[in-house]
Amino acid sequence: MKKVVSLLFISFALCFVLISCGSDKDVYESNQNTENTDNAENTDNAENKENEKSPQPTTGLEYTLLDNGTYEVSGIGTATRIANIVIPSTYNGKAVTKIGGDAFRGCKGIITVTLPEGISEIGRNAFSNCTALASVKLPNGLINIGSWSFSYCYAIASIDLPDSIESIGEGAFNSCKALESIEIPEGVREICSATFSFCSALRKVELPASLKVIEQEAFVDCGALESIIIPGGVESVEEYAFAYNTALKKVVFEHGVKRICGYAFTNCTALTSIELPESLEKIESYAFNYCTVLTNVYIPNETRVEADAFYN
């Protein structure tokens, strides 16, 4: 009888050990599965974050091979329903270096544009009349912004110009009615005609010391601009450069400015203060025409003032 009981006890003990071992194995496998799942999720999250940082280039765009062996984007092609345009850095194994003239002109569905490093030029009218375009990322290395390239882009509120910029063509940001501020990088030598005309929300403008001329109508009818500093390197403020800026109250001309052309500040009806430098050689006729609240102005002794320069 004792032997039977002993055998039963031993059998029970062995069953308990086997069950325990099986349970431990199950726990181990469960932990391994959980760990593998976590690793997979972490990998997916990392890939998603990387994709967020590096949006995929837009497919279906049109390209033209240039004489230098690189490509320009020459048209929207089949990507007409894409709101967020991402320009690739290469096409067919060759670098993409330019946005061609008229490439996206009148594409009213585009909301954002991202340009890669390697783009050195944006052609004439490239994004003109893209009325929904609200965000543009310009790359380091961009040198030339072509004439009228972002004109009539009513939704752009801000744009950062890279330090590599050397020239901005005439009318480049004309009628960007939501644009609130602009800083022109050092190295730009002229603000061409009509570049920022009719930017009705423009409140802040920073001009570089490298600037030599502000051409005609460069900032005409910027109705929110209240003050401006003209750097000393500017030799001439051309006709109608700041005309009809009805909120403009103060203008400071730094030492070095030589000439203020006719009608440059005509109809700046809120203008109360101007600071003229000893370097100023001439104020042409009607330069401050109809600046009706401008009453006291110090004129340097060597400055020649033409007839009706302050006509009211």
Continuous segment of H or E residues that includes residue 2:
helix 2-53
Encode pLDDT of 253-291 as tens digits.
Answer: 999 999 999 999 999 999 999 999 999 999 999 999 999
> Alpha helix (H) ranges present in 122-272?
none
Nearest to 97 by CA among 142, 132, 129, 44: 142
Contact call for residues 280 and 260 (beta carbons, < 8 A):
yes
- For 85, half-sphere exposure in the C-beta direction (CA atoms, 13 angstrom radius) is 32
Nearest to 216 by CA among 185, 179, 242, 249: 242
Query: Is 2 inside a domain boundary?
Result: yes
Encode pLDDT of 181-238 as tens digits.
Answer: 999 999 999 999 999 999 999 999 999 999 999 999 999 999 999 999 999 999 999 9
Encode pLDDT of 124-134 as tens digits.
Answer: 999 999 999 99
Question: What's the number of domains the chain is made of?
Answer: 1
Query: Is 47 inside a domain boundary?
Result: yes
Amino acid at position 88, single letter: P
User: What does 78-141 look like in DSSP terms, one character per residue?
Assistant: T-TT-SEEE--SEETTEEEEEEPTTTTTT-TT--EEE--TT--EE-TTTTTT-TT--EEEPPTT
Query: Is 208 inside a domain boundary?
Result: no
Query: Is 59 inside a domain boundary?
Result: no
Domain that holds residue 33: 1-54
In this prediction, residues 96-124 reach a mean pLDDT of 98
Query: Is 272 inside a domain boundary?
Result: no
Regarding pTM above 0.85, the answer is no
Query: Is 196 inside a domain boundary?
Result: no
As to burial, measured by CB atoms within 10 angstroms (0-12 exposed, 13-18 middle, 19+ buried), residue 169 is buried
Query: What band does 296 get if pLDDT is binned at 50, 70 and 90?
Result: confident
Q: Which residues are registered as beta bridge partners of 63?
A: 73
CA distance 145 to 126: 9
Query: Is 75 inside a domain boundary?
Result: no
Query: Is 26 inside a domain boundary?
Result: yes
